[in-house]
């Protein structure tokens, strides 16, 4: 009887631990998703002055390494190497595009030039598909966890 109770407690603890890890994975993915959407929002904002946009982008670019390491940590545990490399490259190019945009606008005296428009276009085209993939993997991770419980 005591062995069964202990066994049940161990199973409950393992289930809670696994659920906690799944929630952490999903939270990490959502943090990366929100980071990317914030970059897109700042770049496209009509309500911010150009200097304020650049200041916000500067701080976002600085935390890019943290977001990239979160993303890499999740991907390396859950997804094959080729897909991990592909998604990390997409992420890296988006952050790089934001840095180029910031630099171009600063260099041009806080005015948007043709090269800056190219960077905006790049980010607007590439952030939504990456966000969709992040949503897919978050859902996939949750489903994988729920399947493991059955």
Q: List, for residues 44-84, the tens digit of each pLDDT value.
A: 999 999 999 999 999 999 999 999 999 999 888 888 999 99
Q: List, for residues 78-129, the tens digit of each pLDDT value.
A: 889 999 999 999 999 999 999 999 999 999 888 888 889 999 999 999 999 9
Q: What are the structure tokens assigned to 52, written together?
A: 């304020």
For residue 49, tell me if it sits in a domain: yes
For residue 8, tell me if it sits in a domain: no
- In total, the chain counts a number of residues equal to 150
More confident residue, 20 or 102: 102
pTM of the entire structure? 0.82
The stretch 129-134 carries a mean pLDDT of 96
For residue 13, tell me if it sits in a domain: no
Query: ∠ CA(72), CA(145), CA(33), 5° rounding?
Result: 40
Q: Domain range for residue 111? A: 21-149
At which residue do the structure tokens 């994975």 appear? Answer: 25
| Residue 89 CB contacts under 8 Å (≥ 6 apart), including other chains | none
What confidence score (pLDDT) does residue 43 get? 96
pLDDT reading at 12 higher than 70: no
For residue 4, tell me if it sits in a domain: no
For residue 9, tell me if it sits in a domain: no
- The domain tally of the chain equals 1
For residue 27, tell me if it sits in a domain: yes
pLDDT reading at 5 higher than 80: no
* Main-chain dihedrals φ then ψ at residue 33, nearest 5 degrees: -60, -50
How far apart CA 12 and CA 32 sit, in angstroms, is 30
pLDDT reading at 143 higher than 60: yes
For residue 1, tell me if it sits in a domain: no
| Residue 99 CB contacts under 8 Å (≥ 6 apart), including other chains | 61
What confidence score (pLDDT) does residue 18 get? 45
For residue 71, tell me if it sits in a domain: yes
Scored b (16 or more CB within 10 A) or e, 17-45 reads eeeeebeebbebbebbbebbeebbebbee
């Amino acid at each position: 009887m005591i062995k069964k109770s202990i066994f049940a407690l161990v199973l409950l603890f393992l289930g809670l631990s696994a659920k906690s890890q799944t929630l952490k994975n999903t939270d990490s993915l959502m943090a990366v998703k929100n980071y990317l959407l914030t970059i897109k929002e700042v770049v496209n904002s009509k309500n911010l002055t150009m200097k304020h946009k650049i200041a916000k982008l500067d701080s976002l670019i600085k935390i890019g390494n943290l977001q990239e390491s979160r993303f890499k940590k999740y991907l390396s545990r859950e997804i094959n190497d080729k897909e991990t490399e592909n998604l990390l490259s997409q992420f890296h190019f988006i952050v790089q595009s934001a840095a180029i945009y910031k630099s171009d606008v600063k260099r041009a005296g806080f005015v948007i030039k043709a090269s800056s428009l190219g960077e905006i276009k790049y980010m607007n085209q590439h952030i939504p598909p990456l966000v969709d993939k992040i949503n897919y993997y978050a859902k996939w991770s949750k489903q994988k966890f729920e399947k493991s419980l059955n």
